[in-house]
A and B are shown apart, each in its own frame.
Chain A
Amino acid sequence: MKELLTKMQAQALADIDAAQTKEALYEVHVKYLGRKGELTLLMRGIKDLPKEEKPEMGKLVNEVKVALEAAFEKKGASLEREEVERSLRDSWIDVTAPGTEYKTGRVHVLNQVQREIEEIFSAMGFEIQDGPEVESEYYNFEGLNIPEHHPARDMQDTFFLKRKADPQHGRLVLRTHTSPVQVRTLEKYGAPVRMIVPGRVFRNEAIDASHEHTFNQVEGMMIDKDISIAHLKGVMETFLTRLFRRETKVRFRPGYFPFVEPGLELDMSCALCGGDGCRVCKHTGWIEFMGAGMTHPNVLRAGGVDPNVYQGWAFGFGLTRLAMMRYAISDIRLFAGGDIRFLEQF
């Protein structure tokens, strides 16, 4: 019987080795270890053996069983690996076919840029303010040191509403700039103040590829006890450098806006060429960016702030124009056109 067992073990190991598939291996398993398997039968035969042989044979058979189970397991694992490898060998996918289409939308490009600007200024401690788009003549002009019949009113062709003038507020207008919020904020919170005002403004001018009657502006203002022109340079360079993610310089030129004195035009080094000169900056290295200046004492007074104690600056730039420059958008009318072929590009 011992001999038989040894032979069977050798045969079983050979059969395991010869099995090529998991199914064949299973067959071998049944043949030896199944309910009617050869080894199983043999094990059952042990009880018929003489008493003294039982323990030894029992131990031997069990050893063979353990050895066979181990061999099955090993072979099984190896067959599984082969199977995976075979399936990998046969696999292929067309990576050039289009991906699953997901329906996604977009935030309007102006609001994307606006949010970026809000985040940068917020990080510098500026608050975000807002005011009405239908504004009074007082806040839009007089409060900003632009009396009636001042030639500066020409710079901002104004939409008026059909409404009787109010003795205190004057006529109703569509705000021509975000600057009215300067006086409104000073009235509300006083000084010191650091704020920006992104918002929609209106000018009564005919539209073409580079002119719109409706566009977005960002106003800014910083008032404290010793805020200077040098600080305006510093804050704007910091802002623009972050916005364009490249070192950006600014330069000032004299400019005229009745609500600031001194009045400044601010140019920034060209975001495209970095100031070396290119088509965008007309080979000057500079791009006209915004109007600014030291807040006029009359504006501080209109906001109830004492100009002998507080000083500071204000600025205003075109958010729409900034977006046009950043994304090389050639037609300003696209912003309000609602054409998804435009909106989905950002």
Chain B
Amino acid sequence: MYISLNWLREFVDVPHGTDAQELANTITLHTAEIEGYEDECSKFANMVVGQVKKLKPHPNADKLQLSETDIGGGKIVQQVCGGQNLKEGMKVAVALPGAIVQWHGEETVELKEAKVRGETSVGMICAGEEIGLEPDNREGQKEVHIHDLSYVDAVAGTPLADALGRNDTIFEVDNKSLTHRPDLWGHFGFARELSAIFDRPRKKIDHLFASSLKEKKKELLHIKIEDAEICPRFSTCMVSNVKIQESPQWIKSRLQAIGIRPINNIVDITNFVMVELGQPMHAYDRNIVGTDTLNVRFAKDGETLETIDHKKRTLTARDPVVTDGQKILGLAGIMGGKDSEISDATTEVIFEAANWNPIIIRKSSTHHMLRSDASQRFEKGLDPELTELAIKRALALLQETCPDAIITTPQQTIGDWKEKKIVIDLDVDMVCKKIGIEISPKEIVRILKGLEFGVSGSGKKLKVSVSPHRATGDVEIAEDLIEEVARIYGYQNIPSQLPDLPIHIPRENRTRQLENTARDIFSHDLGMFEAQTYSFYGDKEIDDALLPKELHLEMLNPLSEDQKYMRISLIPTLLRAAHHNIKYRDAFSLYEIGRTYIEDSNYFPKEETFAGGIFIDPAKKGEIFYNALGAVQEFLARFNASKFRVQEAQSVPPYAHPKKCAEVRIGKEVIGTLYEIHPQVLKNFGIEIAISAFEINLAKLIALDSNIRTFHPLPRFPGIEFDISVLVEKRTPVREIYEIIRKPDNKLLQSVKLIDIFTGPQLGSGKKSFTFRLLLQSEERTLTDEDMQQVQERVYGAITSANFEIRGR
């Protein structure tokens, strides 16, 4: 919303000489955020009204003329000008050297004294578009026109800003910061604030609401509020003998200054009142209403209306409408109907200023996706007292544009509204305790009175009555008043202070700590990159990853089709990230620690924190599975989950390779799975290289967290190592042989490690060879060859009796 400083000055003496930046800052710090401002004076700097004294052709150019222009103070200067409409005696806008113009309405240029085709030009004579006024030239137009200033009542030399009445400062208010302040949706409200901030009384404004239009009483309008909840208060009046025309320049300038396009005198009046008082209005053509009836009700399902934005809308039983008893005239408080709009032929006008139920307006405007200046105000909940003031103000303005208009129906107001008396007990000590600084009762009273609250009571116990313009839901409890005191007192005056509280150790969040430990392991120990991917994906990911749709929570209003379902696994989005990175590097691994969301019989879905990882390494032909396995093993060991077991998966995720999938158990609990990605899934994701992955249920792992480590003494005696190679079938798992080696009771056997898997033609087809390295060690003595032989024999015996062949024995 835009606020004009000149307009504010109608209501309050804003100290002169305060610069715009400072003023914007003051409003921002005390009331609402000013997003920016525009100082018109600086925009029109170095521009004056000039009068063309003499015109002669340019000696070196057919289309240019030389103008001798009076720029005031007895100075006549020469400009080169291409304007075809230039005439001697004409008043023009002259931009002198130093002025900043939009050259041909486009490029921003600071003017200097220049020569144009050999002739001196002191600045330039401007077209409207070059100085931010209504354009005089349109694209493709052949002749160049300059801006004819004949309409201004100013002599040559007058600064252009003054001549045009454009010496204003316009502030742009952040609408969001007015969400709770319906009283600030017009200039009048801001004037109240400035009066409090600067501690200056408001000006008397009674004259703004007085008109001396003739009254010729006719019949009353028939106003009826059928559905009382829609409209607490409804004010109207009717005028005749109206001539639809342009508004006077001052009204147009005011509206233009804050970004409202003037339409005609009646529409302009309704807009003017809205931005001045904050009360939106509507004007109907009486001839179209016809019945002299205004009826407020809910629409019936299926009724239709074409609004003035030329959209045909189908209404529902929750849409508030105004009818003439027969046809619908408009969507109440949101937008008028096309048919009852003011036209050039209108001679009789019904003004409406009503107070609408904010929730009903909000629902309806949301439903129709129609936010208007009016609905934006009504949905905040306006002060119902404004309706009568608005009608009065409209009539006063009408007198300016149509002095001959006749009031045929004087103001009528109906509705259930009764002034709500809000009185709040305010304890000065509580004010100080919440703000954190001592403020005297006197100062508090001064601030509240400045904001037009009524204050009584004595000492530290105050009784504060809330005036209607703040009793709109904004100020109801003591805390609301504390805000008023604090912001006017100035937040900048509140000291910075640390609480004086006893030492206390915060409750531990073990889950978060362990998540961070997991990150350290994955990133710093295992060299993986942590990604964060979206929590949702679409049908495509579900199909591509062969996932079942059922388990997914679906969004009601997704941003797009590819963000419709809450993820039940981190893998699809990680695969998408993998696909992206493959373009840039050969080997990498990514992981994410994030939540999955699974539809559940409870109200809240099951949210669990998973760690998911993926591995890509072209060098690991066919063996990429082991990258995931190694990472999981290292992770679990580092994570102190020592007693885990990897085995063939009993349940394989749909996107996993059914034959290359394992699960990790701790005790009976499956805490993770690891696998190669299903080749079909890789294809679906456009990935041409094998990927392995893991998913670890961190929530479960954390629940098993033990955090106990026991020290193992370092060996005191040297150990003996020896290797055994065993010939096995291609599909014999390592664990089978490992368990055979471990089977005999060998106290001396400290560790058995697989150090090589060998395949080769000499082994015969379908065979492979495992080589294990065994470490023997005693805590009591140095071992002898005899010890080694004993162990060897037992191990050899176990292997051969299990019908495996020992190679190279």
Contacts and interface: CB of A to CB of B under 8 A. Distances in A.
In terms of DSSP, what is the predominant structure of the interface of chain A? mixed
Which among B28, B487, B491, B603 has the highest number of chain A CB atoms within 10 Å? Answer: B491
A340 B588 contact: yes
B522 A256 contact: no
A194 B506 contact: yes
Contacts of B486: 229, 262
B291 interface: no
B584 A294 contact: no
B366 to A, nearest CB: 8
A162 B556 contact: yes
B362 A336 contact: no
Given A206-B559, A340-B581, A107 B523 contact: yes
Given A253-B28, A256-B177, A338 B590 contact: yes
Given A128-B509, A162-B555, A172-B605, A228 B434 contact: yes
A229 B435 contact: yes
Interface residues of B, number: 90
Contacts of B497: 228, 230-231, 233-234
Contact of A231 (B491, B499, B555, B573): B499
Size bracket of the A interface: 35 or more
Nearest to A155: B176
B512 interface: yes
A132 B566 CA distance: 13
Contacts of B524: 104-105, 107
A337 interface: yes
Nearest to A158: B557
B494 A229 contact: yes
B479 A122 contact: no
Given A149-B362, A294-B434, A340-B581, A111 B496 contact: no
Given A213-B559, A228-B434, A253 B496 contact: no
B306 interface: no
Contact of B437 (A163, A230, A253): A230
Interface in A122-162: 122, 125-130, 132-134, 136, 149, 151-152, 154-155, 159-162
Interface string B511-535: 1100010011011101111111111
Nearest to A169: B603
Contact of B531 (A115, A128, A343): A343
A132 B526 CA distance: 29
Contact of B506 (A122, A162, A343): A122
A26 interface: no
A102 B522 CA distance: 15
A265 B180 CA distance: 14
B713 interface: no
A256 B179 contact: yes
Contact of B566 (A126, A134, A222): A134
Given A104-B524, A238-B498, A344-B529, A226 B479 contact: no
Given A134-B607, A311-B434, 20 more contacts: A104-B524, A108-B531, A127-B509, A149-B359, A161-B555, A161-B566, A162-B555, A163-B553, A172-B604, A195-B506, A224-B501, A229-B434, A229-B486, A230-B436, A233-B497, A255-B177, A256-B177, A256-B180, A262-B487, A265-B33
Interface of B: 28-33, 176-177, 179-181, 358-359, 362-363, 379-380, 433-437, 477, 479-480, 482-483, 486-487, 491-492, 494-499, 501, 503-509, 511-512, 516, 519-520, 522-524, 526-535, 553-559, 563, 566, 573-574, 576-577, 580-581, 584-585, 588-590, 594-595, 597, 603-605, 607
